[in-house]
Amino acid sequence: MKIGLFTLVFCYCIAGGIVSAADRTPQELDAALQQVKRDMLGLDEKIRLLTGGGNQAGLETVSVYVSVDEELSFRLEKIRLKLDGKTVSEPAFHRTQWQALKQGGAANIHSGILMQGKHRLEAVFIGTGKDGKRAEYREQWSLTQSPGRHSMVELRLGNATFSQAPSINMQVVD
Amino acid sequence: MNGRRWLLCLVIALVIAGFPLPSAALSEQRADLLNRELLYYQSTGDGFSAISRYRAGLASGEIRAGQEKWATLAARLYASWGLFNEANELYASPALFQTPEQRALNRFLLGKAYFERQHYAEAVAAFEKSGLHPLSKELEYQRLLLMGVALYQLDNFAASSSALWSIQPTSRQYPFARINIGMGSIRIGSWPGGISGLSSIKKRIGIDVEADPQFADRLNTVFGYLLLYEEYAGSKIAYGKVSMHGFTTPKKKGYKDAQEMLQAVSSDGLYANKALLGQAWIAIDTNELEQAREILEKLANKEPHHLVVQEAKLALPYVLERAGDASRAINQYRSVVGFFDNERNRLDALLQQLNSSELDTALLTMRTGSVARNPLTAYLPGMLLAPLWERLLGDFEDINHLRLRLDEWKKQLAGASSTGSGVSRQSVMSDLSRQQVALDDLYRRTVQLLRKQAGEQLTERRSRISHYLNQARYGLAELYGRQQHGGVDAREAFLAYHAYLKEAPEVSAEVRKHIIGRIADLEMELGEEAAEIAPAAKVSGVTAYLAELEKSPQEASNEDALYKLARAYEQQGETAKALDALQKLIRNYPNSTYIAEARFRVAEGLFIEQNYQQAATTYDGILNSKQNNAYYYHALYKRGWSLFKLGRYQPALDDFFAVLEHYDSATDAKEKANQELYADVQRAINMCFVNMKGPASVSEFFARNKHHQYIETVYQSLANYYLAQERFSDAVQTWSIYVQNYPNSQDAPRHLLGIIDTWKQQRFDKNLVAAQERLINEYGLHTRFWASHKLEQFDDVRAALKQNTRLLAEHYHIQARATGKQNDYLQAAGWYRQYLKNYPDERDVAQLNYLYAEILEEAGQYRDAIAEYLAVVKKYPQFVRRADAGYAAVLLTFQRTESGPVQEREQWRKQSYETALNFARLFPGDGRASDVLLHLIEERYRRTDYLKAIALAQQVVNQGNMQQKQKALLIIGHSQFETGKYPSAEQTYRTLLQTGRVAKNDRREINKRMALSIYRQGEAVKKAGNISVAVEHFLRVRKEVPASSIVATAEYDAAAGLILMENWPAVIDVMERFREEQPGHKLQHEVTRKLALAYLSSDQPARAAQEFERLAVVESDAEKRSAALWKAAGLYDNSRNLEQAAKLFSQYVKEYPAPFDVAMEARQKLVALYRKMGDDKQRDYWRKQIIDVDKKAPVSNERSRYLAMTAALEMAEAKYRDYRAVQLFIPLKKSLRNKKKLLKQAIDAYALVAGYSDAATITRAGYQIGEIYYDFSKVLMKSERPRGLNEEELEQYDILLEEQAFPFEEKALEFYRSNRIRITDGLYDEWIRKSLDRLAEIFPARYSRPEKQDAYIESLQ
């Protein structure tokens, strides 16, 4: 059994401790992938022109973003966004998306036309609280759209001082 | 992974904080939001969306081209998405390429981007270019570190080391640099250098890497393992050279330091398991086995795919084995053999699947999904550490993102038009198709690469698992024989060794020889089974040993090989070769430790070859040897067999008995192996005797020889031998001879038991019974045998005596039932009696006593049988058939009561009463108890002992079933009825009826008696004078028992009571109901009477009249009938039912003409009724009837005459009114004739009245006649004169009228005068006075003077 012990310890120690692999990715494959990416970006521009893109010329539009404080203890899993009572978006935040939010990213959860006038914006934040229990928090705001404007609205979640529920702030970014 | 995360943070920091504020197009806040949006895309790995959004911002003017901030961001986005040319262009653009510092930074950032996507060569080039210009100190160290790592990845350890050594110890990057230097040294085989590098980091861990515990864990783990290895391998060189670190002193503190480092690793981090395993190995090598076991057990239960866990699983049985716990070690080895075998199969399956697309999705989610949940990734965690893998997986994700985007575009374009956009939809669609082809091709190629990489990884793991599997097999096989029970068996060890040799990588010659030796041993042990188990085994024990002998023929160790070779030949059945090998052994190694065995085996070989004579001689040689060898008695035994085979039984017996004596005297003689031999010797002895003269020769043998201690054994053994041969009579004869020869031997009764068993098994019943009787007669508890033997030492004999006594009893019991012979009954009874006497405390004694009672009953000994049944009841309270016994006694007493000798019956009756009551008292819950009681109850009832019957029946009511309860209630009810307890009887009957399901006949009787009970209650109360309560009872009869025949009587009596109470409405109710419900009842006419009375009394004359009218029909007595008819007629009259009254009076006159007076009165009633009714015709008819009947009556009376006269007068009055009603008119003749006719009729009528000579009416009649005449005369005179008469004629006419009228006037005067004359008769009344008045009127002078009256009359008035 001494043989076995030697083999086990040595092999594992080295294999687990040190990375070892040469950069042998085929250059050809890499070049092909880069070319495809470029072509896709070119196509993206064409399609934006063809479909009018996200900016509807002459029309009032809105983009809604969500972001979180780095230390937020509420684990956001899903948002249900309603404009004037109608659900317009229901994005989920899996591990990757959640990490991106925690690292300071702002997720665009809705972009679309929003006519001039007063509107009601409502968001339901669904996720897991600090205590590990499922929780839902609902908030709604009034939003006034000016003529010809592209409104950018940011919903930001942070820890509340005296409550388990997160603080939810809405800001129209000018 | 740490490096990546750290770099990402750095980049974010740069992006967020390191740039000036935007100026124009976008507000600061909006720019920040856009910036964070791009960051989000990038962080989620969606490089395309990030760049797309950026380019859209440029296109829309949100982002101004050429701005430094956005250019930097864009360059980073391009770079991180792998579009390095675009990134490089941006970094080289004027906005970002103005100062040398800026240019250095750009190249640094580009290098990092290359590094992050594992383009290490490009990264190194960029970092080298970056180094041409000054960077800030910390950025420079970062550059050096990244470049060093990239070079490391390119296996350029020297350059890597050079770059890393340039980092100053004051830098935060220093620890990372040193560990990579150390790793690099190890990679190139420079352990001392590696340890040196790493140890310097060890010193700094507390300072520099405290913020990164994961890094510290990794470092401690790697370092701990290195020290562990060094210590384990005993590398003194390493320690000697690396003396600067303090832990490499000659005192060998290596394990201690390694232990410290591994213990410092956090228990919940990535390296926790590795550290634990290291600690386990240290514990093993320092012989801290308990600690090692604890750690390994904990590890072995964790995630099973983890390499560390698999190693722990393998190490655990090794530790258990070393700790001496062979049992658990074996179990654990078995468990891990199974586990690794499964895992290897699983990996084989995964490798198969890799060639299909089944695992592509798993590959795709490897970087983001849960490793534990993914069967593929569970075995590929190492892959994630490999840069190529990371890069390939990143590309794979990008490709998939782009494919999804392509799908979205296709959907989007389905509804788009080209109008106004300047872009052709068609051309875009065509571009999309091309892109689809390109992407699909990329996808396929990337997947192929991934599969290849995964395949390599899995193959490596498979190889490792195979290695573990064989280690476990080897460990398991080595444990063969270490555990008595549940240990590894020969098969298992044999298979494990074979598998090991077949699959294990190269093993050393020493190990190989060891394994071959073990396989050979196991082959011999398993014999032919070995070939079955491993038919394709390449290694055979024999061939292996021959090879050994050939390899070195002169070696001393060949003695062992020769011995084993001989055994192997023997095993294979090659006896000659085996003998040859043994002869060679004897010849070449006369002093060998195997020599005695070799000789013995040679003799055995001769025996096997049936060369018995030579074998016997060879065995003689061993026996004659002075040497005290272990084979002496085996040789003696085998010589005995050789002599036996040669037919020399007597000397053979001497050898066999000598062997027996030897083993019996040896302390370990009864060991298992020898027990078999011992038995074989006995068998041989038996065969000798059988071949001589059987049991007779045994007697002869022991008469001549010693060995007397074996007498009993030999007899028994011989008997058994015969039994095995199915020579039952011989066996019995053997035992029988023994019993005969040694009757007082303690084995004698036991041999009789042998005889009994034999006959029993052979079903020789007659012999069996004889043997059983012999046993009990010769060795029963009463025999002399027990005077010299202690019974407590003969439990088996005692049990047999008991059992056989019982069997004999049962045998004769059955026989008696079959034959019916009294003798058999008595025999059975006798055996039972003996059993009960000798074994009173046995568990079955109660049952036997019961059977004894039964046999007595069957034998007709009833009195004894009853006594025994009752004894069973009394003596065995727990006996299950105790109640049966009691019941049998009861039945028997009942039976004797009914059919026993007449003179005994009364006595039996009394006993049966007591027995039955006792039974009911003892077994109240027994269903038969109530039956028994019912029997008694009925008997009591028949004997009119009603009170006792009630008391007993009450018990049955309380405990019996429904049917029994009903019977009991019936008897209670009847008894109560018979004793005049009517209320109780009624209640009992009611209860009985409520139980439901009462037999039809019983129900009829119950109803009858219940009704009677109620009626009797009424009678009793009535007698006591309480009429109203009596009435209630009478009325209840109908209510409670409507169908009872006594209802009518009760109703009638109720009505009678009600009459007494003058409760007429109730009487009417009851009687009307009676009439309706009892239409043909004999009391119906009484009902009518009572109803008549009731209606009459309650002032209902019409209803009363109807009842009387009925009575007028139904009364049997004519007088009553006539009276009823009269009453009815009168009541109708009273109730103004005149017609019915007239009808009944008329009927009365018709049916009852006598008595005369009453009939006359009836006629008078009819006159009155018809008058009231205005029926003149009928009235006059009845007046006439009265007059006629009176006239015709032979004996008239005053009342009759009065009635007749009144009738006549009334009729005359009527005639008079008729006469007066007619006027005279012209022509006078006609009217005069009519008037005259009426005149005559009226006068006749009055004449009739006058005919009755009644003083009161005669004057009236006279006056009235006078008045008629007088009136006629005046009517004539005043009659209308004819018209047209002249005065004279008129005078003439008047004269003529006077002439005509005059006689009438005269007639009138005559009657007036006759009345006047009656004054002289003393009469004077109204009519006389009127007559005088009329006379005075006609002759005033003559008669118009007052009558002369006497003065006294005046004075009286």
Residues A101 and A166 in one domain: yes
Using 50, 70 and 90 to split pLDDT, how confident is the model at A10?
Answer: very low
| CA dist., res. B406 & res. B408, Å (int) | 5
Residues A106 and A136 in one domain: yes
Q: Are B377 and B371 in contact (CB under 8 A)?
A: yes
Residues A89 and A143 in one domain: yes
**Per-residue confidence (pLDDT) for residue B386, from 0 to 100:** 59
pLDDT at B14 over 50: no
pLDDT at B905 over 80: yes
| CA dist., res. B776 & res. B830, Å (int) | 13
Could you say which of B84, B281, B398 has the minimum Cβ distance to residue A9? B281
> HEC states along B847-900?
HHHHHHHHHHHHCCCHHHHHHHHHHHHHHCCCCCCHHHHHHHHHHHHHHHHHHC
- Token readout for B1165 is 């009633």
Q: Which pLDDT tens digit goes with each residue over B819-860?
A: 988 888 988 999 999 899 888 888 888 999 999 999 998 888
Say if A56 is an interface residue toward chain B (CB within 8 Å): no
Could you say which of A19, A39, A54 has the minimum Cβ distance to residue B56? A54
Using 50, 70 and 90 to split pLDDT, how confident is the model at B15?
Answer: very low
Q: Which pLDDT tens digit goes with each residue over B756-769?
A: 988 888 888 888 88
**Per-residue confidence (pLDDT) for residue B543, from 0 to 100:** 65
Q: Which pLDDT tens digit goes with each residue over B674-698?
A: 677 788 888 899 999 988 888 888 8
Q: Are B195 and B242 in contact (CB under 8 A)?
A: yes
Q: Which pLDDT tens digit goes with each residue over B450-491?
A: 888 788 888 888 888 998 898 899 888 888 877 766 778 888
For position A165, which CATH number holds? Answer: 2.60.40
- Number of A/B CB contacts below 8 angstroms equals 225
CA angle B818, B822, B828 (to 5 degrees): 75
Provide the percentage of residues in chain A whose pLDDT is more than 70. 81
In the sheet with A117-128, reading across from the earlier edge strand, the strands are A86-89, A75-83, A117-128, A134-145
Residues B493 and B574 in one domain: no
Phi-psi region of B1100 (alpha: psi -120 to 50; beta: other; left: phi over 0): beta
Has residue B909 been placed in a domain? no
Instruction: For residue B355, report the phi and psi dihedrals to the nearest 5 degrees.
Output: -75, -15
Has residue A18 been placed in a domain? no
**Per-residue confidence (pLDDT) for residue B565, from 0 to 100:** 76
Could you say which of A10, A48, A106 has the minimum Cβ distance to residue B33? A106
Q: Decide if A23 and B187 are in contact by the 8 Å CB cutoff.
A: no
Alpha helix positions (H), B1252-1325: 1255-1278, 1287-1317
Q: Which pLDDT tens digit goes with each residue over B1150-1203?
A: 888 878 888 888 898 998 889 888 888 888 899 888 888 888 877 767 788 888
Using 50, 70 and 90 to split pLDDT, how confident is the model at B600?
Answer: confident
pLDDT average, residue stretch B628-645: 84
| CA dist., res. B1047 & res. B1040, Å (int) | 10
Residues A164 and A79 in one domain: yes
If you ran DSSP here, which 8-state letter would residue B785 be given? G
Residues A36 and A68 in one domain: no
Q: Which pLDDT tens digit goes with each residue over A73-91?
A: 999 999 999 999 999 999 9
**Closest by alpha carbon to B1258, among B1331, B1335, B1327, B1310?**
B1327
**At residue B345, what is the residue type?**
N
What are A122's strand-pairing partners?
Answer: A82, A140
**Per-residue confidence (pLDDT) for residue B545, from 0 to 100:** 64
**Per-residue confidence (pLDDT) for residue A22, from 0 to 100:** 36
Partner A, chain B 637-696, Cβ-Cβ below 8 Å: none
Has residue B1313 been placed in a domain? yes
Residues A119 and A167 in one domain: yes
Q: How far is A134 from chain B (nearest CA, A)?
A: 21
Q: Which of A35, A55, A75 is the last residue of a domain?
A: A55
pLDDT at B281 over 70: yes
pLDDT at B247 over 90: no
Using 50, 70 and 90 to split pLDDT, how confident is the model at B417?
Answer: low
Contacts of A20 in chain B (CB under 8 A): 155, 187
Has residue B12 been placed in a domain? yes
**Per-residue confidence (pLDDT) for residue B376, from 0 to 100:** 55
**Per-residue confidence (pLDDT) for residue B556, from 0 to 100:** 58
If you ran DSSP here, which 8-state letter would residue B1125 be given? H
Q: Is the pTM of this model over 0.80?
A: no
Residues A42 and A125 in one domain: no
Could you say which of B55, B387, B464 has the minimum Cβ distance to residue A21? B387
Boundaries of domain holding A123: 61-173
Q: How far is B28 from chain A (nearest CA, A)?
A: 8
Has residue A67 been placed in a domain? yes
Could you say which of B8, B421, B434 has the minimum Cβ distance to residue A49? B421
Q: Which of A55, A71, A104 is the last residue of a domain?
A: A55
Residues A69 and A149 in one domain: yes
Residues B146 and B161 in one domain: yes
Has residue A134 been placed in a domain? yes
Residues A33 and A69 in one domain: no
Provide the percentage of residues in chain B whose pLDDT is more than 90. 10
Has residue B695 been placed in a domain? no
Q: Which of B223, B242, B261 is the last residue of a domain?
A: B242
Has residue A49 been placed in a domain? yes
Q: Is A158 helix (H, G, I), strand (E, B) or coil?
A: strand
Number of structural domains (chain A) is 2
pLDDT at B432 over 70: yes
pLDDT average, residue stretch B154-178: 83
Mean pLDDT estimate for chain B: 81
Q: Decide if A154 and B33 are in contact by the 8 Å CB cutoff.
A: yes
pLDDT at B126 over 80: yes
| CA dist., res. B735 & res. B722, Å (int) | 11
Residues B504 and B589 in one domain: no
| CA dist., res. B808 & res. B755, Å (int) | 16
* B23-32, B339-348, B389-398, B549-558, range with greatest mean pLDDT: B339-348
pLDDT at B732 over 60: yes
Instruction: For residue A87, report the phi and psi dihedrals to the nearest 5 degrees.
Output: -70, 125
pLDDT average, residue stretch B1263-1291: 83
Has residue B562 been placed in a domain? yes
Say if B186 is an interface residue toward chain A (CB within 8 Å): yes
pLDDT at B781 over 60: yes
Instruction: Give burial (CB, 10 Å; 0-12/13-18/19+) of B1055.
Output: buried
**At residue B476, what is the residue type?**
L
**Per-residue confidence (pLDDT) for residue B380, from 0 to 100:** 64
Residues A86 and A120 in one domain: yes
Residues B98 and B66 in one domain: yes
Residue of chain A whose Cα is closest to the Cα of B322? A1
Q: Which of B561-575, B580-594, B1209-1223 is predicted with the least confidence, judged by mean pLDDT?
A: B561-575
Could you say which of B86, B438, B475 has the minimum Cβ distance to residue A36? B438
pLDDT average, residue stretch B919-936: 85
**Per-residue confidence (pLDDT) for residue B540, from 0 to 100:** 59
pLDDT at B795 over 90: no
Q: Which of B471, B506, B539 is the last residue of a domain?
A: B539
Has residue A132 been placed in a domain? yes
**Per-residue confidence (pLDDT) for residue A97, from 0 to 100:** 92
Has residue A30 been placed in a domain? yes
Question: Where do the DSSP E strands lie in chain A?
Answer: 61-68, 75-83, 86-89, 107-113, 117-128, 134-145, 150-159, 166-173
**Per-residue confidence (pLDDT) for residue B67, from 0 to 100:** 81
Partner A, chain B 393-412, Cβ-Cβ below 8 Å: 395, 398-399, 402, 405-406, 409, 412
Q: Which pLDDT tens digit goes with each residue over B16-33?
A: 332 332 333 457 888 889
Using 50, 70 and 90 to split pLDDT, how confident is the model at B350?
Answer: confident
For position B225, which CATH number holds? Answer: 1.25.40.10
**Per-residue confidence (pLDDT) for residue B930, from 0 to 100:** 84
**Per-residue confidence (pLDDT) for residue B305, from 0 to 100:** 82
**Per-residue confidence (pLDDT) for residue A128, from 0 to 100:** 93
pLDDT average, residue stretch B139-147: 90
Q: Are B1305 and B1313 in contact (CB under 8 A)?
A: no
| CA dist., res. B632 & res. B625, Å (int) | 9
Q: Which pLDDT tens digit goes with each residue over B995-1027?
A: 777 778 888 888 888 899 999 999 998 898 899
Using 50, 70 and 90 to split pLDDT, how confident is the model at B366?
Answer: low
**Per-residue confidence (pLDDT) for residue B865, from 0 to 100:** 92
Boundaries of domain holding B585: 542-593
| CA dist., res. B1131 & res. B1149, Å (int) | 17
Residues A85 and A47 in one domain: no
Cis ω before B1155 (30° cut-off from 0): yes
Has residue B890 been placed in a domain? no
Using 50, 70 and 90 to split pLDDT, how confident is the model at B1342?
Answer: low
Q: Decide if B442 and A5 are in contact by the 8 Å CB cutoff.
A: no
Has residue A42 been placed in a domain? yes
Residues B513 and B571 in one domain: no
Q: Are B473 and B330 in contact (CB under 8 A)?
A: no
Has residue A159 been placed in a domain? yes
pLDDT at B1204 over 50: yes
**At residue A80, what is the residue type?**
R
- Token readout for B430 is 């065509």
Residues B534 and B564 in one domain: no
pLDDT average, residue stretch B389-409: 84
Residues A50 and A67 in one domain: no
Cα-only R_g, chain A: 24
Provide the percentage of residues in chain B whose pLDDT is more than 70. 86
Q: How far is A62 from chain B (nearest CA, A)?
A: 13
Say if A53 is an interface residue toward chain B (CB within 8 Å): yes
Number of structural domains (chain B) is 4
Has residue B849 been placed in a domain? no
